[in-house]
């Protein structure tokens, strides 16, 4: 009897898989921190016989090369991928034996990348699961615009054809097990649900419900911003990532934190946005460890700039370090544990700023206060409606466009509060008076704020 275990990659919105039989297994699209993969195989009592990549990833650094080296597994990489290391070049129709009566069959599914390959797990000759990577996702497909602008439209057409190939060749009860689509920016759209089958996708996935022309037009029109760090992931994966180092970073004392701030390095406070707003080291930025620190920190930080982490516990430092390593920020320059008082020295003043709700914002406007409303949601979110008179700078651009924020106290909002807190910390570090709106965007209308839509604009 086969098994297929899901290995969640929290923060990045991806999944890896460990699938196999009684004695051996395959790992599909492993994360860089392979210790958890090895532990999962140990719990199952199976040998990792193969490691399979569906494509050269653009959103995270793979652990596949190192996992194959450590375990002696065969490293399966699509033949069309240009990589600098030895691997088993997999072509359409190739079969890899995993365990007795259990094989993995490669199915060419271009679209997310030109070389993208899905893998169908077959038990006793019957397909039971399809590891679809960035091809057929749950209710969507992988975005086609991460390789080369000139290829985007053709890759969108390829996505449509690949989705239909899987739907035609596989039975309705075959499990669909994608890598992307659980919050990943590699997904062209998000959908509800964590599990799916070919049959379910036939009734719900736009790629299988719309003709190619309509599908491509709507897919391309709906593409949102691409995280800046994606530009570094593909080359790293093609070259062959170095083994990850998750040993504890050097501890930073008060003097070193001050020196790193003075040098223009990034000092990142991982505490909750509530705690940060109440008191923090002046000049530090707030990326909550419970948010998506890997995505937004990697998206915003100038690539290669040293980062020092501040947190309440060593566990939070380790958690953030693991997430950052997955996207190529290999080693924090230093770290410190404790509270802001420990990081600033005796009696040193702490920086702070207020938090508020949309009702507070409406009241401030009613009083005639001179203020700026800064919307840091992404373009796609903004297009669904915005607060009248607000300035729009997406979160990942705020640190580069500070001069575009008008004078006055800046009330920053997003859709829920996390990104507003990041932007508020950046503005605060640059000497601006800020108020972080820690509220759900749906409350804006209830508060009496006038909302504008594209149709009205």
At which residue do the structure tokens 């649900």 appear? Answer: 193
pLDDT surpasses 90 at 293: no
Q: State how beta strands 285-286 and 196-197 pair.
A: unpaired
pLDDT surpasses 70 at 189: no
Q: Cα separation of 10 and 33, whole Å?
A: 12
Exposure of 200 by Cβ count < 10 A (0-12 exposed, 13-18 middle, 19+ buried)? middle
Q: Cα separation of 225 and 377, whole Å?
A: 11
Q: Cα separation of 328 and 235, whole Å?
A: 11
pLDDT band at 184 (very low <50, low <70, confident <90, very high): confident
Q: What is the pLDDT of residue 455?
A: 67
pLDDT surpasses 70 at 452: yes
Q: Cα separation of 409 and 137, whole Å?
A: 43
pLDDT surpasses 80 at 191: no
In tens, the pLDDT along 294-303 reads: 899 999 999 9
pLDDT band at 24 (very low <50, low <70, confident <90, very high): very high
In tens, the pLDDT along 339-375 reads: 999 999 877 899 999 999 999 999 999 999 999 999 9
Q: What is the pLDDT of residue 13?
A: 86
Exposure of 193 by Cβ count < 10 A (0-12 exposed, 13-18 middle, 19+ buried)? exposed
**pTM to 2 decimal places:** 0.93
pLDDT surpasses 60 at 192: no
* Average confidence (pLDDT) over 321-327: 95
In tens, the pLDDT along 223-268 reads: 988 999 999 999 999 999 999 999 999 999 999 999 999 999 999 9
Sign of CA dihedral 232, 316, 28, 76: positive
Q: Cα separation of 252 and 247, whole Å?
A: 15
| Lookup: tokens for 278 | 């109440």
pLDDT surpasses 90 at 280: yes
Q: State how beta strands 3-9 and 95-99 pair.
A: unpaired
Q: What is the pLDDT of residue 397?
A: 96
């Amino acid at each position: 009897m086969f098994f297929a275990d899901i290995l969640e990659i929290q923060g990045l919105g991806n999944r890896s898989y460990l699938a196999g039989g009684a004695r051996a297994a395959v790992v599909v699209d492993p994360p860089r921190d392979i210790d958890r993969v090895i532990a999962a195989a140990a719990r199952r009592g199976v040998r990792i016989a193969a490691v399979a990549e569906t494509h050269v990833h653009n959103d995270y650094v793979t652990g596949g090369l190192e996992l194959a080296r450590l375990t002696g597994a065969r490293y399966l990489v699509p033949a069309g991928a240009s990589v600098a290391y030895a691997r088993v070049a997999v072509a359409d129709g190739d079969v890899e034996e995993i365990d007795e009566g259990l094989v993995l069959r490669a199915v060419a599914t271009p679209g997310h990348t030109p070389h993208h390959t899905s893998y169908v797990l077959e038990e006793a000759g019957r397909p039971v699961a399809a590891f679809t990577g960035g091809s057929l996702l749950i209710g969507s497909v992988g975005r086609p615009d991460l390789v080369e602008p000139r290829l985007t439209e053709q890759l969108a057409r390829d996505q449509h054809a690949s989705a239909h190939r899987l739907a035609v060749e596989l039975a309705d009860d075959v499990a669909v097990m994608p890598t992307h689509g659980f919050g990943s920016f590699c997904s062209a759209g998000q959908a509800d649900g964590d599990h799916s089958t070919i049959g379910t996708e036939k009734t719900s996935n736009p790629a299988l419900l719309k003709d190619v022309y309509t599908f491509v037009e709507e897919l391309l029109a709906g593409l949102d911003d691409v995280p800046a760090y994606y530009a570094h992931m593909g080359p790293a994966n093609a070259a062959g990532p170095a083994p990850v180092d998750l040993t504890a970073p050097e501890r930073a004392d008060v003097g070193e934190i001050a020196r790193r701030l003075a040098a223009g390095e990034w000092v990142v406070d991982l505490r909750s946005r509530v705690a940060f707003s109440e008191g923090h080291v002046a000049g530090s930025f707030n990326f909550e460890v419970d948010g998506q620190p890997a995505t937004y920190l990697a998206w915003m930080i100038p690539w290669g700039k040293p980062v020092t982490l501040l947190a309440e516990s060593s566990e939070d430092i380790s958690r953030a370090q693991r997430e950052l390593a997955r996207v190529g920020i290999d080693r924090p320059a230093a770290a410190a544990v404790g509270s802001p008082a420990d990081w600033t020295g005796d009696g040193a003043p702490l920086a702070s700023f207020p938090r508020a709700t949309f009702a507070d914002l409406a009241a401030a406007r009613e009083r005639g206060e001179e203020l700026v409303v800064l919307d840091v949601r992404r373009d796609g979110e903004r297009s669904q409606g915005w607060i009248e008179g607000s300035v729009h700078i997406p979160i990942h651009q705020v640190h580069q466009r500070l001069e575009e924020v008008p004078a006055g106290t800046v009330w920053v909002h997003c859709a829920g509060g996390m990104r507003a807190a990041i932007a508020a910390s950046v503005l605060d570090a640059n000497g601006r008076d800020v108020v972080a709106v820690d509220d759900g965007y749906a409350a804006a209308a209830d508060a009496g704020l006038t909302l504008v839509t594209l149709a009205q604009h």
